[in-house]
Amino acid sequence: MAGGSTSTVLSFFNSALSLFYPQSCGVCGADGKVLCEMCTKEFLVIKDADVCQVCDRWLGRSIVCGPCSESKMWFGRGFFIFEYDSAVREVIHAFKFEGCKKIGRQLVNLVSGKFHGLDRDVDVVIPVPVSGKRLREKDFNQSYIIAEEIAAITGLTIEHSVLVKRDSIRDQFSLPRDERKKNIKGAFRVEDLQYIKGRRILLVDDPFTTGYTASEAARTLVQEGSAGVILFALARTP
């Protein structure tokens, strides 16, 4: 089939889908798109300059921030897009807890240009896993959805079952900040070393808050022989 004909068929198909299964914005409910332009304009994008060299926190100058200096982060650097403020928080909550997978995919594609050249620094994409128990309850891992989109944009390989989270670990979001570091210790294991040995890994997390989960996952990968870890999350706390 010629390219023009394919495009026409796809356009007709998408129009038909919109007619019978109309989409609405995950923030304001407006018809038309998974995320409308008015709402995405409210998202605060993290500045590229004058941020912490590890976690991307804005400092006014490029140094390592106090928390990263005091608590060793096992990933080489963090790579984040949005500030986890009220607008983004609402969207990610719908994605993470209400199963709106399209929102996660749309958020990644909104900033697809940010991944240009990533394949020069990374060999494989690995999502931070959820426990088997949590996966059975939710039926999906939000970090995998994000990682899948990044892999599609960059052409990188995704390994979704190499890093495993133990079922005995309590959910971090239910715990006070001072208990999270202790709770997550030893939470992960690597199932097959051949997929990480000597490889540069993009570790994909959901919102970056304390960093304890991401750092523990990175520690496991580094100590098992990866060549280094870069962390990506769609949002981080200011």
Single-letter residue type at 207: P
Look at residues 59, 102, 50, 78 and name the one whose alpha carbon lies nearest to residue 208. 78
Look at residues 172, 113, 189, 115 and name the one whose alpha carbon lies nearest to residue 147. 115
Per-residue pLDDT reduced to its tens digit, 179-214: 888 888 999 999 999 999 999 999 999 888 888 899
> Can you tell me the distance from the alpha carbon of 194 to that of 226, in angstroms, rounded to the nearest whole number?
10
> Can you tell me the distance from the alpha carbon of 201 to that of 190, in angstroms, rounded to the nearest whole number?
13
Asked if the model's pLDDT at residue 3 lies above 50, the reply is no
Contact 230, 122 (CB under 8 A): yes
Q: How confident is the model at residue 50 (pLDDT cuts 50, 70, 90)?
A: confident
Asked if the model's pLDDT at residue 164 lies above 70, the reply is yes
Single-letter residue type at 141: N
Q: What is residue 156's predicted lDDT score, i.e. its pLDDT?
A: 97
Q: What is residue 149's predicted lDDT score, i.e. its pLDDT?
A: 95
Q: How far is CA 131 from CA 16, 164, 165, 166, in A?
A: 38, 7, 5, 6
Per-residue pLDDT reduced to its tens digit, 99-148: 688 888 888 998 899 899 999 999 999 999 988 887 888 788 999 999 99
Which domains does the chain carry? Answer: 45-236 (3.40.50.2020)
Beta bridge partners of 54: none
Asked if the model's pLDDT at residue 32 lies above 70, the reply is no
> Can you tell me the distance from the alpha carbon of 180 to that of 183, in angstroms, rounded to the nearest whole number?
5
Q: Is 31 exposed, middle or buried (0-12, 13-18, 19+ CB in 10 A)?
A: exposed
Q: What is residue 27's predicted lDDT score, i.e. its pLDDT?
A: 65
**CB neighbourhood size of 74 (10 A):** 19
